[in-house]
Amino acid sequence: MEGERERSYLIKELFGPTLQGEGAHAGTPCVFLRFAVCNLACAWCDTDFRPEGALRLAAPEIVARLEALDVHGARLVVVTGGEPTLHWDAPLADALRAAGFRVHMESNGTRPLRAPVDWLTVSPKPRWHGVGDRLVLTQADEIKVIVEADLAHPDAALLERYEAMAFTHRFLQPCMDERYPEHLARAIALATARPRWRVSLQLHKILDLP
Ligand code: SF4
């Protein structure tokens, strides 16, 4: 707005075109918008979300960069982080929608969503929430739970809690660390025994995509 300083957003990286790697839309062409900064500090985190080296961009600059990346016209942006709900607001949501982008967001679910998205993935990290399970986003298109066989995570009680919440799709995703075969075996066993869940693999890692 004239006379007002336009808000800028702390962006760690924008990249694409690539494929969404996880969940119900695995394999779908998209571009990525990754915000800096997270409110959690999960031990398994493989994402550099530190603000060092991040870009400060206004909404029109973000849209212009995503349009330039979206060379095949997929018009799907996956918004992640860090924790995207720390930044996400109506002006950016409106700017992306006006440019024809559908927005799919992945959040750790511990903060409210201040503006709408087209698809919300909640990926809770209950072992790292600090005090119990601080999940506030208990309604979403999908929930994705990381499976760690060595820590017996998630246990049956946690899965039952998530089954009682309003998630349309439920995914168990084995952690891709050095014990991946054990995590995968446990994810398969859990999903086989609980038909409301499916296994999600990190397709982008298997295909060596960014
Ligand atoms: S919530 Fe996600 S981005 Fe944040 S520390 Fe945990 S794994 Fe990393």
| Parent domain of 148 | 8-206
Is 32 among the residues known to form the active site?
yes
pTM for this predicted structure = 0.94
- Does residue 49's CB lie within 6 angstroms of at least one atom of ligand 1? yes
Atom number in ligand 1 closest to CA 49: 3
Q: For the segment 102-130, what is each residue's pLDDT rounded down to a tens digit?
A: 999 999 999 999 999 999 999 998 776 55
CB 58 within 8 A of CB 9: yes
What is the rounded average pLDDT of the residues 178-188?
A: 96
Helix (H) or strand (E) holding 171: strand 166-174
CB 106 within 8 A of CB 140: no
CB atoms within 10 A of CB 127: 17
Is 1 part of a structural domain of the chain? no
Q: Which residue has the tokens 């031990």?
A: 43
- Given 46, 155, 163, 177, the catalytic residue: 46
Gap from CA of 170 to ligand 1 centroid (Å): 19
Is 2 part of a structural domain of the chain? no
Report which listed range, 39-43, 48-52, 97-101, is most confident: 97-101
Of the pLDDT bands very low, low, confident and very high (cuts 50, 70, 90), residue 150 is confident
* Domain CATH code at residue 202: 3.20.20.70
Q: Extract the runs of DSSP E, i.e. beta strands, from 51-138.
A: 55-58, 76-80, 102-107, 119-122
Q: Give the pLDDT confidence score for residue 80 in this predicted structure.
A: 97
